[in-house]
Structure 1
Amino acid sequence: MRCAVLGDPVDHSLSPVIHCAAYRELGLDDWEYDAVRVAAGGLAGFVDGLDPAEWRGLSLTMPLKREALPLLSSHDDWVSATGACNTVLLEPDGSRHGLNTDVTGALMVLGEHDHPLERAVVLGGGATATSLLLALADRGMRHATIVVRDPARAGDTVHAVAAHRSAPQVEVRTLAEVEGEAETLTGDVLVSTVPTSAQVPELLAAVADIPLVFDVVYDPWPSPLAAAAERAGWTVLSGLDLLVAQAINQVVAMTGRHDVPGGAMRRAAEEELASRSSR
């Protein structure tokens, strides 16, 4: 049975290493998991060409998470809430079921730490930010400050978060104004979905007092944001935590197995990252 991660770019993805580690531990010797470059606008054509007798599941990364929605026959509630899908199950009858394991993975990661989560600051306003904001709302977030370069591009995220059953308050600020002010932002948790190139000293100073930092970056690690938080003694969660957690949920969904070896999956990812850094 075949599975794959799709995106553009995708050659850097750790997903094949993580999923294949799970298959080995589970004794699924006839399962394969590859990385396939699929550019924006190409998802429908790729999926239409797959034989559901051979293919079981697809993991989706940027820029395909929203592009998948019209292709689905059904989907879970988190896909509806986020407007984004990162997992497609190809059923034998040709139907396609969508999941958002970014949300359920974030819920797993956040559930491992006993921190207040009522006030959140989130850097970035794309699909991943939406997923983490909804996970935070499920964990008790009452107020969110979303910091983005262009507020017009955060509309879908603001709408999705405001529509959560807990109706958290949402404020949008620009990176320029945050970086230009002398005051620091306050909150219980800081989530960053921006690349390391955007983690400039002015931004780091503006969020320096937030005691729980969840940076979805995992390579290079530590990111400037994570390194600063670690020096301050704050709790730091990484993109690798999220990547492995959401992959565990994907393997369960794709294989039907619930004895998924999360430890082996994490070790495989760490070994691959160590190998890449030594090259």
Structure 2
Amino acid sequence: MAARHCAVLGSPIEHSLSPVLHRAAYEALGLADWTYDAHRVEEGQLAGFVAGCGPEWVGLSLTMPLKRVVLDLGTPSVTAALVGAGNTLLFDHEQGRHRVENTDVTGMTAALVGAGVAGARRALLVGAGATARSSLAALAPLGVGTVTVMARSAERAHASLDPVATHFGIRLLVIEWGTVPTAHHDVTIATAPTEFAPEDAARIAAVSPVLFDVIYDPWPTTLGAAAQAAGAVVLDGVDLLAHQAVGQVKLFTGSDLDVTVLLSAGRAALAARRDQ
């Protein structure tokens, strides 16, 4: 069988865990002729990179800052178009019109369900950027109807999140950064790369019994540590990365994979890095 190539693109890319996860997936699936590498690619270089990929290329994973610009290089799925970001490109070498998908959304939903969140009504969202848009879309299948958003700018938060919230019929309540709601929330998703003071982290962690902090290195964040200390269910960026990678592997290879294979590989790689 001819070699099949996939890769993750972004900038910076040197510390990406994606090669570890996808190579573990190919090994588990017995795909000895498949390769997966990392390439540093800037926004202005992406179109040229894609154009230079021959028929042996199956797909690409995209990380920052390429999730927006990739939408122009193929046909976006409904989800990718809605949240304004794609993290997966599937080559169509015959027709020349590639597909752009977003497995961050489905991966986040799957991670929450896997952690026991079968349903939810209210959620707290920390941050209002691109990852927050994906988070809104991920919360919708769980039944979330109201989302409180902690944002530095209410105007920018509404501009970013209103289209997604309207699509799913979610009511948004935007509060000032650092303001902690008093009402109970079923789940908190932290999307902003901000370290809170320990006392602030404890107040935010007390809002709900489930915290999903999309950071994975350094870990734990002050918010993650506070949630763990409070006895909450805590998910981190490795949970997101592994679950979205399961979706990508399915798109690339057509095969299903148990997420525990990727979670184990990702956490082992992180532990090895920290021991260096």
Q: TM-score normalized by structure 1?
A: 0.90
Match of 2:269 in 1: 272
Amino acid at match of 1:66: R
Gaps of 5+ in 2: none
Q: Secondary structure at the match of 2:111?
A: helix
**Hey, what does 1:25 align to over in structure 2?**
28
Separation of aligned partners in 2, 1:186 and 1:45: 49
Q: CA deviation at 1:18?
A: 0.3
Aligned to 1:130: 133
Pick closer, same or farther for the CA change 1:185–1:207 going to 2, 3 Å: farther
- Mapped pair 1:168 → 2:166: no
The CA deviation string for residues 40-65 of structure 1, in whole angstroms up to 9 with x for no partner, is 333222222222x0211111111111
- 1:230 equivalent to 2:231? Answer no
Q: Decide whether aligned partners of structure 1 residues 116 and 138 sit closer, same or farther in structure 2, where only a CA change above 3 A counts.
A: closer
The one-letter amino acid paired with 2:57 is: W
Do 2:77 and 2:100's aligned partners in 1 also have CA atoms closer than 8 Å? yes
Deviation at 1:102, TM superposition (A): 0.6
Partner of 1:194: 192
CA drift at 1:142: 0.8
Residues 81-92 of structure 1 aligned to structure 2 (within 5 Å): 81-92=82-93
Amino acid at match of 1:146: V
Paired with 1:238 and 1:103, the residues of 2 have a C-alpha distance of 15
Displacement after TM superposition at 1:97 (Å): 0.4
- Counterpart amino acid of residue 158 in structure 1: D
Measure how far apart 1:242 and its partner are. Answer: 1.2
Quick one: which of 8, 12, 19 aligns to 1:9? Answer: 12
Change (3 A) 1:60 1:152: farther
Superposed, which structure 2 residues align to 1:1-279 within 5 Å?
1-51=4-54, 53-72=55-74, 74-93=75-94, 94-112=96-114, 113-114=116-117, 116-154=119-157, 155-164=159-168, 167-175=169-177, 178=179, 184=182, 186-195=184-193, 197-201=194-198, 203-209=200-206, 210-258=208-256, 260-279=257-276
Displacement of 1:200: 2.9
Residue 185 of structure 1 deviates from its aligned partner by 6.2
Structure 1 residues 208 and 267, CA, compared in 2 at 3 Å: closer, same or farther?
closer
For the residue of structure 2 that corresponds to 1:172, the secondary structure is: strand
- Alignment-mate amino acid for residue 63 of structure 2: T
The residue matched to 1:141 in structure 2 has which SS? Answer: coil
Quick check: 1:184–1:205 contact (8 Å CA) kept in 2? Answer: no
Q: Residue type of the partner of 1:106?
A: M
Which one-letter code corresponds to 1:204 in the other structure?
A
Q: Deviations over 1:134-188 (max 9, x none)?
A: 1111211111111222334331223212221xx1101222315x2xx7x656422
**Structure 1 stretch 224-233 or stretch 33-42: which is displaced more?**
33-42
Tell me the CA shift for residue 261 of structure 1.
4.2
Question: Would you say how many aligned residue pairs link Structure 1 and Structure 2?
Answer: 269
> What is the alpha-carbon distance in structure 2 between the residues aligned to residue 61 and residue 255 of structure 1?
20
The alignment's TM-score, normalised by the length of structure 2, stands at: 0.91
What whole-Å deviation, never above 9, does each CA across 1:57-109 have from its counterpart, x for those lacking one?
1111111111111111x232211321211111012312210111011111211
CA separation of 1:29/1:227 partners in 2, compared to 1, >3 Å: closer, same or farther? same
One-letter amino acid of the structure 2 residue matched with residue 58 of structure 1: L
Unaligned runs of 5+ in 1: none
Q: Distance in 1 between matches of 2:173 and 2:80?
A: 23
**Further displaced range: 260-269 or 94-103:** 260-269
Using the TM superposition, give the Cα deviation of residue 34 of structure 1 relative to its aligned residue in structure 2, in angstroms. 0.9
Q: Shift in Å at residue 126 of structure 1?
A: 1.8
